[in-house]
Structure 1
Amino acid sequence: MAGKLYGVGVGPGDPELLTLKALRLINEADVIMVPGEEVEESLAYKIVKDHIRDPHLRKIAAVSMPMTKDSKVLEANHRNAANEVEEYLDEDKTVAFLTLGDPTIYSTYIYVHKLVEKDGYNTEIISGITSFCAASARLNEGLVEKEQMLHVVPSSYGIEDALRLPGTRVLMKAGSKMPQIKQMLKETNGKIAMVENCGMENEKVYLSPEEIDERAGYYSLIIIKEAERLG
């Protein structure tokens, strides 16, 4: 009998935003898998490490997840990761695969999940607090109200059309193109703020496009709220 794979969302960075369910499954798992080249360098692992009971009693393994848009490289790495997971499942082990935020929102994990599920194994997704909800809370304000729409946009694929959408726009992982994005934000109407590394020790908050550091890191999230209509 094969084991079961859990894709566990660990939230955006603050260990106190881990859910009770995530913590329970992490501590019940035979194997904890984290994205990265080394376990200790994995951000997902850093979030949970102080909450793992008896880490010496379980296997903790890093899985290579390179940041690239090369589809062949991505497919090969996803397949390799799925194969590693399936080796443990074939030994009737429970695997908790950790991922930042929520596994259903632009998560590399979901590609591994789909491969393992397609191969006939038992899988389950454990939701985590999303980065854009955490960032909005950090800014101490709501994300959308009444009839307003919410648009979640991956910044690395171009945002020109998204900036013209009505409602609230969330630009995720904006760090890689920050100089270009900052210039476009200066020409965009509305209330604009950015949270870099939300919930982490090196968190920074910027309350206008002019304040944004063009060298901001990969985990930078921008919230653009539509200008309030008068009358």
Structure 2
Amino acid sequence: MLIGIGLGPGDKELLTLRAVRLLKEADKVFVPGKMAKDLVAPYTEAEVLEFPMSNDEDVIRAALERNAERIAPAARNGTAVLGMIGDPSFYSTFSRQVEIMRASHPDIETEVEPGISSITAFASRAKLAINGGFVVTDGEHPDAMIMLKVKKPGELMRSLQREGYREFVLAERVFQDEERIYSGEQIPEQSDYFSIMYARK
């Protein structure tokens, strides 16, 4: 198995307890560079992989393919961890690496463990209280939304479908014992206060 774990924004004290446990338990740990290697150093030895900062898609893909071949033996025979700065699900190379892994090694399972993202770290350091809707983008026009506290997800989904949204995921009580995840036509009419919905065009 390959587990992508979030290492947070760069402070050793902002690793989650789960991240620390997984780093200690993993058969092999991989990281994208010196900053990540320093973050995990108190808990484990890590092998640095190549993630080139390049606009050349061929260069990037070739590096990810090489990484996949280095990760695969450990992930197939035990647990491999790939530690990423921030959160592996937000603007992270982890998703690209998983895409390559699935193409060349479809038998290897992958999981993601969250970390403190740059978005929440920024709000904390800038002393911002975000209590309304906002947009996060890397410069491209956004084609997805994340909505909190969705009490009538079925009604909301039908409304957004009229606006061109086609992909929907709803989660209730994430990481709690009562956690429930729905997608597409499974999405119910009513949901929990602790709910979050993703919609993509």
- Could you say which residue in structure 2 is the equivalent of 1:84? 70
* 1:58-88 C-alpha deviation (Å, 9 max, x unpaired): x621101110111111111111111111122
* 1:164-207 C-alpha deviation (Å, 9 max, x unpaired): xxxxxxxxxxxxxxxxxxxxxxxxxxxxxxxxxxxxxxxxxxxx
AA aligned to 2:95 is: I
Mapped to 1, the partners of 2:72 and 2:22 lie a distance apart of 18
Mapped to 2, the partners of 1:13 and 1:151 lie a distance apart of 24
Q: Give the alignment's Cα RMSD to 1 decimal.
A: 1.8
What's the secondary structure of 1:16's corresponding residue? helix
Pairs within 5 Å for 1:149-164: 149-154=133-138
Mapped to 1, the partners of 2:40 and 2:47 lie a distance apart of 14
Q: Where do 5+ consecutive residues of structure 1 fail to align?
A: 37-41, 163-231
How many angstroms does 1:120 deviate by? 2.2
- Could you say which residue in structure 2 is the equivalent of 1:75? 61
- Could you say which residue in structure 2 is the equivalent of 1:216? none
Percent same amino acid among aligned pairs? 31
| Pair 1:126 & 2:110 matched | no
How many angstroms does 1:141 deviate by? 2.1
Say which of 17, 25, 30 aligns to 2:14. Answer: 17
Q: Where do 5+ consecutive residues of structure 2 fail to align?
A: 143-201
- Could you say which residue in structure 2 is the equivalent of 1:99? 84
- Could you say which residue in structure 1 is the equivalent of 2:37? 45
Q: 1:120 to 1:150 in 2, by over 3 A?
A: farther
| Pair 1:114 & 2:106 matched | no
In the superposition, the TM-score normalised over structure 1's length comes to 0.56
AA aligned to 1:134 is: A
User: Is 1:7–1:113's contact at 8 Å kept on the other side of the alignment?
Assistant: no
